[in-house]
Amino acid sequence: MPGIPQKPEPTSPGAARGPISPQDSALYTIDMLEGLRKMADRQGHGVLAHLLELAQAEARMLTRASKSRG
């Protein structure tokens, strides 16, 4: 008798293929922060939305910095 199917565990973007690069990590972070920023904005949490936007700006700077090094 087959068992009950299990819901897969959430994984980080590089879990299946090993460690990810700092640039890939920053790009993933930018995407995640965008969703959170939109949610905060829709809920009327202006300060939180702004802080998340600042975090996105920082992550974008990190991607540019890693491109210039590599």
Total domains present in the chain: 1
The residue length of the chain stands at: 70
| Structural domain includes residue 2 | no
* The pLDDT of residue 13: 56
* CA atoms lying within 13 Å on the CB side of residue 65: 8
pTM exceeding the 0.85 threshold for the entire prediction: no
| Structural domain includes residue 16 | no
| Structural domain includes residue 59 | yes
Residue type, 63: T
| Structural domain includes residue 41 | yes
Structural domain containing residue 60: 22-69
Q: pLDDT tens across 2-61, in order?
A: 566 565 555 555 556 778 888 899 999 999 999 999 999 999 999 999 999 999 999 999
